[in-house]
Chain A
């Protein structure tokens, strides 16, 4: 399973890394901002993306999400992981094509479950 982690916060990236690294089948990629995320999507074609919304730079998480869902990579499962938890934020995220919207703080065990239940690519 190719997993892309996109977050500008080092602690969050580290937490996600520790969460997923126990399964040797997982391959992890990390991006600190939107531009890096786009580059990694194109070059690595991940199966699932855990995506922060507010990040430095011109491209935010919602932009990345929309890019994925309107491109050849649209089969990639997108989980938005955001500190913004308002109803309008969630609606906006799903509108832009996200498969799932989770608010921080989140449960690492729940993330693992998502990966386990992910329909295999085909």
Chain B
């Protein structure tokens, strides 16, 4: 300081005074600085060209050497021999890395005790190219001992072993000092100096939802005699996302068991957690898929016990879940064989493990068809027919899996097989039905070519050819309509709300039977505005077919009776229906069930012309409208056909609106 006063120039009185004032202020500042630094646990030092120019009293605590003795000495004198090279290397290459850095190394205390210190230093190059280092030294012996102590037990060893990538923390419960290792901070995206070593660092980063539980766990651990605890909580990464932390810790306890310190590791388990979460999610998805699958799935444990059955399988077979769960494969196979028409195919399937068709009879499920016999009067309700037996394709998969050994996969192929059968049957029937009109056309034209006819006979022959051609065209049109109807494609339908009575009246007025003088007697027992949601043209078509049958198959003088009424179906649904009754030839009781078969015609139709497709078409139309057809017929006395459709529920609301 005294150097500053040696100024020769008497003219610079003011400057001198100013210097004096500054030096006094500087002295005060230095006093404050040394008082402040005297309070610190950490060593504050300033080095010029490798020699200490300032040290605070904490230095003496760490080294046992007084500050006065240490000034103008090199730090080298105090460093553990094994660490000198490393430290020196770090400090001397400072110009390459003119930044803040942290070095951990050992210092030898005056009493030969080894202490671990962490040096944090700031490097500044001054004007004359020498290097100033300002920094701190912190006693971390306890932490290092902590880490060494961890190797003592296997549990501790594990902790340290996994600590390679883990953050280490140490919480002195007495002083409330907390140490957080550089790796701990790095794990959260921070550089070591960015986060203070304090309990608040941790508490401020813990997820608010997890903080209470985490603290509770530690509190509970400290109060219990346990040596080890672990818990999971989330910490906030510098980037804002949450890092899942597996916290493991042990405590240092006195003889009474009271803990003075706890320390341990924090492991980033986010990836694990995410994988776990994704697995759970996948498992949920898979379980949903199995649940909604239309195919039956049964799984077996490696001990060959049923571990799961899905709803589709229960629907297919009529079994109850509780009857199947945990029964053995043998018992399961027995149950299946009981269901099968023939035991053999099922056995082959399970022995050869190849996909195989098994036929299963389900008597319980026969709810679709309700028949009711009244005196001399056979009445059938045709609604949603379900086949009484089903054909399932069974595939058995063998897995090398810890939880599942066998998966049995059942696909209901009843419909496919039935469709195939119907398709080929249909084709042969069509071919057969086409042959008869073609026979006429072929035969008559051959006769016309080869033989002389008079004009009247020629006219009869040509008339016959013409009629057969007309019949063929009608048949083809009806077949196409049926095919369209079967595709259930909405584009062929135009659904709207209609009053049924309007449709019926329009149908009756457009209905003409040539040369038939009889009338349709219509009786309406419903509100004029009773609505149905329907395709008007299709309903007209169905009713026209039924009406023309009534006329065709009643070659007598009786009128046709048409009635419209309401009823409640077996299932409790409000229905509106139109019934058409004739006093005609009727159908034999044992043939009523064939009425909707394609090309089927009763054996008592005689020479009445028809394709055998009309009622099949009616059935398709009514089915598509979710309706029901009722057939009542007495042989040689007459037939009554009822077409029932769902009454549109909101019709009263519609009326008000």
B436 within 8 A of A: yes
Whether B607 lies near A106 (C-beta < 8 A) is no
A84 within 8 A of B: yes
Cα(A108)–Cα(B453), bound, Å: 15
Whether B607 lies near A104 (C-beta < 8 A) is no
Whether B604 lies near A9 (C-beta < 8 A) is no
Cα(A105)–Cα(B441), bound, Å: 9
Cα(A91)–Cα(B437), bound, Å: 25
Determine, out of B40-48, B258-266, B444-452, B632-640, the stretch whose residues face the partner at the interface. B444-452
Interface of B is mostly: helix
List A residues 69-110 near B (Cβ within 8 Å): 83-84, 103-109
Whether B443 lies near A107 (C-beta < 8 A) is yes
Residues of B within 8 A of A26 (CB): none
Residues of B within 8 A of A18 (CB): 444, 447, 457, 461
Cα(A83)–Cα(B440), bound, Å: 12
Residue of B whose beta carbon sits closest to that of A16 = B443
Residues of A within 8 A of B604 (CB): 56
Whether B446 lies near A12 (C-beta < 8 A) is no
Given A14-B464, A56-B603, A84-B432, are A105 and B438 neighbors across the interface (CB < 8 Å)? yes
Given A106-B443, A107-B443, are A83 and B464 neighbors across the interface (CB < 8 Å)? no
List A residues 13-36 near B (Cβ within 8 Å): 14-15, 18-19, 22, 32
List B residues 406-463 near A (Cβ within 8 Å): 431-432, 435-444, 446-447, 450-451, 457, 461
Cα(A118)–Cα(B436), bound, Å: 26
B230 within 8 A of A: no
Residue of B whose beta carbon sits closest to that of A15 = B443
- Chain A interface category by residue count: 20 to 34
Residues of B within 8 A of A15 (CB): 439-440, 443-444, 447, 464
Cα(A10)–Cα(B607), bound, Å: 6
Shortest distance between the CB of A35 and any CB in chain B (Å): 12
Interface of A is mostly: loop
Residues of B within 8 A of A9 (CB): 436
Residues of A within 8 A of B457 (CB): 18
Residue of B whose beta carbon sits closest to that of A110 = B446
Shortest distance between the CB of A82 and any CB in chain B (Å): 9
Residue of B whose beta carbon sits closest to that of A12 = B439
Shortest distance between the CB of A116 and any CB in chain B (Å): 14
Given A11-B464, A14-B464, A56-B604, are A19 and B443 neighbors across the interface (CB < 8 Å)? yes
B122 within 8 A of A: no
Residues of A within 8 A of B431 (CB): 83
Cα(A18)–Cα(B452), bound, Å: 12
Shortest distance between the CB of A31 and any CB in chain B (Å): 13
List A residues 42-75 near B (Cβ within 8 Å): 54, 56-57
Residues of A within 8 A of B606 (CB): 32
List B residues 450-484 near A (Cβ within 8 Å): 450-451, 457, 461, 464, 467-468
Residues of B within 8 A of A104 (CB): 435-436, 438-439
A-B interface contact total, Cβ < 8 Å: 61
Cα(A76)–Cα(B139), bound, Å: 129
Residue of B whose beta carbon sits closest to that of A33 = B603
Given A11-B464, A14-B464, A105-B442, are A83 and B436 neighbors across the interface (CB < 8 Å)? yes
**Pick from B435, B450, B607: contact of A83, CB under 8 Å:** B435
Cα(A104)–Cα(B443), bound, Å: 10
Shortest distance between the CB of B443 and any CB in chain A (Å): 5
Residue of A whose beta carbon sits closest to that of B436 = A9
Cα(A108)–Cα(B443), bound, Å: 6
Whether A109 lies near B446 (C-beta < 8 A) is yes
Given A11-B437, A12-B440, are A109 and B450 neighbors across the interface (CB < 8 Å)? yes
Residue of A whose beta carbon sits closest to that of B438 = A105
Cα(A22)–Cα(B454), bound, Å: 12
Residues of A within 8 A of B438 (CB): 104-105
Residues of A within 8 A of B603 (CB): 56-57
**Pick from B432, B436, B447: contact of A12, CB under 8 Å:** B436
Shortest distance between the CB of A77 and any CB in chain B (Å): 20
Given A83-B432, A83-B435, are A19 and B464 neighbors across the interface (CB < 8 Å)? no
Shortest distance between the CB of A89 and any CB in chain B (Å): 11
Residues of A within 8 A of B442 (CB): 105-107
Cα(A61)–Cα(B467), bound, Å: 27
Cα(A112)–Cα(B93), bound, Å: 124
Cα(A109)–Cα(B457), bound, Å: 17
Given A18-B461, A19-B443, A104-B439, are A11 and B432 neighbors across the interface (CB < 8 Å)? no
Query: Which of B431, B435, B439, B450 has the largest count of A CB atoms less than 10 A from its CB?
Result: B439
Cα(A104)–Cα(B464), bound, Å: 17
Cα(A54)–Cα(B468), bound, Å: 20
Cα(A38)–Cα(B359), bound, Å: 44
Residues of A within 8 A of B439 (CB): 11-12, 15, 83, 104-106
Whether A19 lies near B440 (C-beta < 8 A) is no
Shortest distance between the CB of B644 and any CB in chain A (Å): 31
Shortest distance between the CB of B94 and any CB in chain A (Å): 104
Shortest distance between the CB of B448 and any CB in chain A (Å): 10
- Taking A11-B467, A18-B444, A109-B450 as given, write out 14 further A-B residue pairs in contact, using a Cβ cutoff of 8 Å, ordered by the A residue number: A11-B464, A12-B439, A12-B440, A14-B440, A15-B447, A22-B451, A83-B431, A83-B432, A83-B436, A83-B439, A103-B435, A104-B436, A108-B447, A109-B446
Residues of B within 8 A of A (CB): 431-432, 435-444, 446-447, 450-451, 457, 461, 464, 467-468, 603-604, 606-607
Sample of 25 A–B contacts (CB below 8 Å): A10-B607, A11-B437, A11-B464, A11-B467, A11-B468, A12-B436, A12-B439, A12-B440, A18-B444, A19-B443, A54-B432, A83-B432, A83-B435, A83-B436, A83-B439, A104-B435, A104-B436, A104-B438, A105-B439, A105-B441, A105-B443, A106-B439, A107-B443, A108-B446, A109-B447
Which 4 residue pairs across A and B have the least CB separation, nearest first?
A56-B603, A105-B442, A105-B439, A83-B435
